[in-house]
């Protein structure tokens, strides 16, 4: 039995291809049923916006090719020849471990993928397509990912400039309970809004040259106050912090138009800059801009890369146990057959002696126990030896020997 992986992801397939290779629950079930017809009864599908991947166990090399054909046929309109990738054995297991840990994600070390792997396994198990081998491999990958998350905390080194900016803002002045003005209503401004609310900002006022766009944000942020763009300086005097993220080619906050009446912190997330840097000449004003933030992003990226290297070492170590377990489990069927043969001999011997001897109920139970214990004792050491065989080639040889010796 061999572990395999096949699929596409954001690294090797554009969004146009990923859009048409997404697995719905119905398609997942159909895929399970299709591969079952070729003898594969353990299969898991991991389908997200960045990947459509299948993990499975197979017995024969031809099945790997057949799974590829089934995948291509299911998404025939996508022309997947140039995009489909696959791995087998320890390479496939290592890949799954890296997936669960977020090391193959678009945002390195992100946590969301771990929940998606859990859901994929739950769906497969519920549908009856995950048995002890697949359960073992995926659960070990999840356990390793949790260990990495707890020990290394990769995701706590953010790479988003918006998030780092708000994080820095909180360190400088504390966001909780403060009054904030957000200038702009594009993607960066909306991200900043979300993060401000995460840090429990008190009141948020927003202004934008496109008033209708700003008004539309009230559907998501119900307690948001929207003001005309022209009144930004007026409301700014009442705020503790200002976040600016527009696409304006010119400054939107100029020193000559603003004199603070109390300490205020500005966060400039725009390129080119929104906020006049000479504002910092006033001792009541603190300015955080992209120059500062890019340094933090660079430091975080380098630290993430170091932590990723450490994560890979942890994965290599944890994988050893999984691969050893899988190798040993290949002998389970042979060991089970031996034990069944043993049980058959015990029952035959017991029935014969029971007919020949006049035994009471207690003696019958004792006889059965003694017969069973005697044969189990005979098999105990050979079974232990079978479990310790370290290569597939040796396992195959011993399986053949056992079949011939015990006629199973």
Instruction: Enumerate the active-site residues.
Output: 49
How far is Cα 335 from Cα 389, in angstroms, rounded to an integer? 13
How far is Cα 253 from Cα 265, in angstroms, rounded to an integer? 13
- Structure tokens belonging to residue 175: 């966001």
How far is Cα 162 from Cα 397, in angstroms, rounded to an integer? 60
How far is Cα 308 from Cα 109, in angstroms, rounded to an integer? 8
Tell the burial category of 339 from Cβ atoms under 10 Å away from its Cβ (0-12, 13-18, 19+).
middle
Tell the burial category of 175 from Cβ atoms under 10 Å away from its Cβ (0-12, 13-18, 19+).
buried
Please tell me whether residue 242 adopts helix, strand or coil conformation.
strand
- Structure tokens belonging to residue 160: 């988003």
Task: List, in order, residues 6 or more apart from 102 with CB less than 8 Å away.
Answer: 108, 109, 110, 111, 113, 114, 145, 154, 155
Phi, psi (5° rounding) for residue 53?
Answer: -130, 150
Cis peptide, bond prior to residue 272, ω within 30 of zero: yes
303: part of which helix (H) or strand (E)? helix 290-329
261: part of which helix (H) or strand (E)? none
Give yes or no for a contact between 304 and 109, defined as CB atoms under 8 angstroms apart: yes
């Amino acid at each position: 039995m061999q572990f395999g992986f096949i699929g596409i992801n954001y690294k090797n397939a554009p969004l146009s291809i990923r859009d048409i290779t997404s697995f719905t629950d119905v398609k997942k079930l159909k895929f399970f049923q299709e591969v079952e017809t070729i003898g594969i009864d353990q299969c898991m599908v991991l389908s997200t916006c960045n990947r459509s991947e299948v993990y499975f166990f197979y017995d024969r090399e031809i099945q790997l090719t057949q799974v590829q054909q089934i995948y291509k046929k299911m998404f025939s309109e996508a022309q997947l020849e140039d995009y489909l990738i696959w791995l087998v054995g320890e390479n496939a297991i290592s890949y799954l471990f890296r997936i669960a840990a977020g090391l193959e994600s678009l945002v390195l070390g992100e946590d969301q993928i771990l929940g998606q792997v859990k859901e994929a396994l739950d769906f497969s198990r519920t549908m009856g397509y995950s048995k002890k081998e697949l359960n073992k491999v995926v659960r070990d990958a999840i356990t390793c990912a949790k260990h990495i998350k707890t020990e290394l905390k990769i995701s706590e080194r953010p790479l988003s400039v918006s998030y780092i900016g708000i994080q820095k803002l909180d360190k400088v002045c504390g966001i909780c309970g403060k009054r904030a003005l957000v200038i702009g209503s594009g993607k960066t401004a909306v991200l900043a809004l979300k993060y401000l609310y995460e840090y429990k900002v008190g009141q948020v006022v927003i202004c934008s040259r496109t008033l209708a766009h700003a008004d539309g944000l009230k559907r998501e942020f119900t307690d948001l106050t929207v003001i005309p763009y022209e009144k930004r300086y007026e409301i700014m005097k009442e705020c503790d912090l200002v976040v600016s993220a527009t696409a304006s080619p010119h400054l939107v906050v100029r020193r000559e138009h603003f004199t603070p009446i109390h300490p205020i912190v500005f966060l400039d997330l725009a390129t080119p800059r929104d906020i006049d840097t000479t504002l910092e000449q006033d001792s009541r004003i603190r300015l955080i801009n992209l120059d500062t933030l890019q340094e933090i992003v660079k430091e975080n990226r380098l630290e993430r890369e170091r932590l990723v290297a450490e994560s890979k070492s942890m994965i290599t170590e944890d994988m050893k146990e999984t691969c050893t377990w899988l190798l040993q489990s290949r002998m389970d069927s042979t060991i089970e057959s031996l034990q069944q043969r043993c049980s058959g001999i015990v029952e035959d011997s017991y029935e014969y002696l029971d007919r020949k001897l006049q035994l009471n109920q207690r003696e019958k139970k004792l006889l059965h126990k003694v017969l069973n214990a005697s044969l189990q004792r005979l098999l105990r050491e050979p079974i232990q030896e079978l479990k310790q065989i370290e290569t597939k080639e040796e396992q195959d040889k011993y399986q053949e020997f056992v079949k011939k010796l015990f006629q199973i």
